[in-house]
Amino acid sequence: MSLNVISLTTLLEASPVEEVKDLLYTFDCGQLSSGANDVEDFIRNKSIEFEKVDIARTYLVLSTYQGKPFLAGYFAISNKPLVVPKKSFRKLSKSFQKKLMAFGHKTDMEYYKMQGYLLGQLGKNRSPISKVANAATGTDLLGLAYQKVLEAKALAGGKVLHLECEDNLKIITFYESCGFKILEDHISENKLRIMVKRLD
């Protein structure tokens, strides 16, 4: 079963906005957690506005089941540097500090700043049709998102991909299995854990 990635902007240019909204509303997080609910709320209620004001780019991952297209998942990416307070940076292992600072710098405000991208959202659709089709795993979606970030890096530079996630062992373990490292003792303004991966 193939997966096709289409940008929300492209879809909005080709289809009436109400049809696009109908598609976005087929996304169902399954009420797993507050974080999953945020993923659902974003795609349904915020993604189009974020697209219009250039805060983030959302990509829909589409597949087919019994000849009919459906939304298998989505991800959203924004151009945003990773900024780590000096206090938190010092708690990282020396080797990890060296890896990060190989492509970052210390600011005048006692922060360490690394140019890169924020994976703002990553969501697998858990609607009835998506469950039956089982077209995409979280690893599939993250791989597609990573490819888009590498394309952006080739055009505009940047050295890190970072994300915020719930302090949930299952979620953290998933991202670690995909090459991300958690920033120990550092919580975002949204009270979430921050994970980072070098773009190679």
Residue 125 banded pLDDT, cuts 50, 70, 90: very high
pLDDT at res. 106:
60
Residue 186 banded pLDDT, cuts 50, 70, 90: confident
- Per the structure, the count of domains in the chain is 1
| Structure tokens given for 123 | 């969501």
The partner residues of 111 in beta bridges, in order of sequence, read 85
Q: In this structure, which amino acid lies at residue 149?
A: V
pLDDT tens profile 44-101 = 999 999 999 999 999 999 999 988 899 999 999 999 988 877 777 777 777 766 766 6
Residue with tokens 């210390």: 106
CATH number of the CATH domain containing 137: 3.40.630.30
Q: Which domain holds residue 176?
A: 4-198
Are the C-beta atoms of residues 124 and 137 closer than 8 Å to each other?
yes
Please give the mean pLDDT across all residues of the chain.
88
pLDDT at res. 85:
76
- The mean pLDDT of 172-195, rounded to a whole number, is 88
Cα Dmax for the chain:
58
pLDDT at res. 109:
60
pTM: 0.88
- Decide: helix, strand or coil at residue 200: coil
103, pLDDT greater than 60: no
Question: Smallest Cα–Cα separation from 142: which of 167, 128, 156, 121?
Answer: 121
Residue 40: how many CB atoms within 10 A of its CB? 21
Burial, 29: exposed, middle or buried (Cβ in 10 Å; 0-12, 13-18, 19+)? buried
- The mean pLDDT of 157-165, rounded to a whole number, is 91
